[in-house]
Structure 1
Amino acid sequence: MESPSPETGRRERKRHHTMDHLAATAFRLFEAHGYDAVTMESVASHADVAKGTLYNHFPVKEALLAHQFHAELAAGLEALREAIAAQSGFAARLRYLLAASAQWCEGRRDYLPHYLQFRLAGPDAAARYRGDRGASSGIDRAFGALIRSGLEDGSLRPGQDADRLTAFLQHLHLGALMHWLATPGLDLRAEFDAMVDFFLAGASSGGADAARRRGNGQ
């Protein structure tokens, strides 16, 4: 496989820089004026780019939000890497990650419905957005890494398919997040803890107690 030429590398770096600048500008406007009040035209004006440049990178306002969120999540996951690895066993590592995720989600609650609508609306909108971080938040890769590690160290039952478990965990995570968004007053950390219990033990009688014992290293 051929390496990208220096010129291609420069173009890619410029493209990534432009996308980061546009998304950061948009998010500052969202914070200052409210998400609904900000138009794509105002983003282009404040970022000092032509409207065509903005639309070339981000076809809809939600894509700007997705890019900003994915950048924040990538930085957060990288910062947590060593602390997560230091936890004992799969359950403890997952709970540590989800506690940090809950804190981030609580600070972005007003924006999450717009972000999730964009992500879940179907392939068309997301397919038109191809940022350097793509259409993934990165949480899927983090879950996958934790599951593979858990299968290797015996925290999870050997012989299970890592990709299937990752998909199950992603859907449980999304369900817990959407339940929290739809239900005022819920504690997201508690929702995520209940999600981990369910993932580890299911809904069988006595399963939650067993999950907590595993999570505590018993």
Structure 2
Amino acid sequence: MAGGHDPVGGHVPVGAGVPVGDGGPLSLADPAVTRRVLAEAGLVDVDCARHEVAGTWGRDAADAGAFLAGWGPVRHRLAPLGPAVADRVRAELVAAMRPYAGPDGVRLRTAAWLVTARRPRLTRAAGAGSHGGAGPGTRLGSAVMAPRRAAALRGGEQSLREHLIAAAARLLDRRGAAGLTVRDVAREAGVADGVLYNHFADKEELLAHALHAHVRAVEAALEAAVPQPGEGDLAGNLRAWLDRSLALHAAILPALAGLAGQPKLLARLAELPALPGGDPGVRAEFADYLRAEQRLGRVAPAADPRAAATMLVGVCHDLVLGRLLDPAGAPPQPDPELVDALVDTLLRGVAPAGSG
């Protein structure tokens, strides 16, 4: 920080700083890490040249302080310290910027690495005759991660933030949240580890958004499977609700495995709107469906939709949670006789007298 004062470091416990090496939000500040990342991407003659220039950090001290407080590495350090400490840090950042404010805004010297590299010429055996490759003198310059970011997003319209959320959601679908690391998500997304901290305060914020995205995608895929009140016969509709709820739980519950042991992730989830889908959503949707059928006279007036919905969710838990305890087992597929028995049990509890 300019003038030797560090408003953030004064509030962060010893050892809680942001690492510069592999895995930290400032990982690319280390030229050795940058060279390794680009070498892994197949580039050669990587050069990292340090440059210092005057830059504008904000319109005034308040704007510059807000910019610094919202920067990924700063948010990463402040996240576990609580809102009171974060407010004090923001105030100190604004105060630290005031001596550098002028008619042209807050101007400070800033340092950056100008990174260049070369893509080697393809040999004849590896694809001679191609006219699209870069020649031996091609320089790939300026931003450290520009080549890899372009490759990760090529062919799509996602922002990098959306791309990271989608990559994390895929991992949650395959592996669940337990043991998932920043490096795992970065490898899935095809970016360097530190890139995540340019868009999220920490891994838990990213995973919380990814869980929401995963659940929304599952719900959207199964939306057409929801029967509408008054359509078809009641037994067939109940069977469709059971099939849809089982598929929903089979896709969502594994992604939630391990959350109980991750209090920071649970705290991040609490900051977002309630997860769509899941148990409360399924129970509420099915109960609302039965109430609508009650108004149409297709369900007994004395029936309790909440009790029937709880039975439905309980069946899904029984079948899906058993799979989580035995990941090597077959996907939850109840035999048709069990489905018929469950539907019959629901019908005898909710159907008007004399209905089939």
Whether the TM-score (by the shorter chain) exceeds 0.5 is yes
Unmatched runs of 5 consecutive residues or more in structure 1? 1-16, 202-209
The separation in 1 between residues aligned to 2:319 and 2:232, in whole angstroms, is 23
Distance 1:163 1:176, change over 3 A: same
Does 2:236 match 1:92? yes
Deviation at 1:114, TM superposition (A): 4.3
Write 1 or 2 for the structure with the bigger share of strand: 2
The separation in 2 between residues aligned to 1:30 and 1:186, in whole angstroms, is 17
- Give the equivalent residue in structure 1 for 2:169: 27
1:196 to 322, 335, 342: 342
Distance 1:104 1:140, change over 3 A: closer
| Structure 2 contact 225–240 (Cα < 8 Å) conserved | no
Does 2:181 match 1:39? yes
Distance 1:142 1:154, change over 3 A: same
- Give the equivalent residue in structure 1 for 2:275: 135
Deviation at 1:150, TM superposition (A): 3.2
Write 1 or 2 for the structure with the bigger share of helix: 1
By relative contact order (CA 8 Å, sep 6+), the higher-ranking structure is 1
Please, what TM-score do these two structures have when normalized by structure 1? 0.56
**SS of equivalent residue, structure 1 residue 158:** coil
- Give the equivalent residue in structure 2 for 1:78: 223
Taking the TM superposition and a 5 Å limit, the aligned residue runs for 1:66-215 are 66-81=211-226, 84-85=227-228, 86-89=231-234, 91-103=235-247, 108=251, 112-118=253-259, 125-130=265-270, 134-137=274-277, 138-182=281-325, 184-185=329-330, 188-190=333-335, 193=339, 196-197=342-343, 200=346
User: Which structure has the bigger radius of gyration?
Assistant: 2
| Structure 2 contact 166–213 (Cα < 8 Å) conserved | yes
Distance 1:93 1:54, change over 3 A: farther
| Structure 1 contact 26–43 (Cα < 8 Å) conserved | yes
Cα deviations by residue, 1:13-44 (Å, 9 ceiling, x for unpaired): xxxx8875433121345679x66775224536
| Structure 2 contact 293–299 (Cα < 8 Å) conserved | yes
- Give the equivalent residue in structure 2 for 1:11: none
Distance 1:78 1:174, change over 3 A: same
Deviation at 1:98, TM superposition (A): 2.8
| Structure 1 contact 29–43 (Cα < 8 Å) conserved | yes
* % identical equivalent positions: 19
Aligned Cα root-mean-square deviation (Å): 4.5
Deviation at 1:129, TM superposition (A): 0.8
The separation in 1 between residues aligned to 2:264 and 2:298, in whole angstroms, is 39
2:200 to 24, 34, 54: 54
The separation in 1 between residues aligned to 2:204 and 2:262, in whole angstroms, is 17
The separation in 1 between residues aligned to 2:255 and 2:290, in whole angstroms, is 29
Cα deviations by residue, 1:29-61 (Å, 9 ceiling, x for unpaired): 5679x6677522453673865426334684474
Please, what TM-score do these two structures have when normalized by structure 2? 0.38
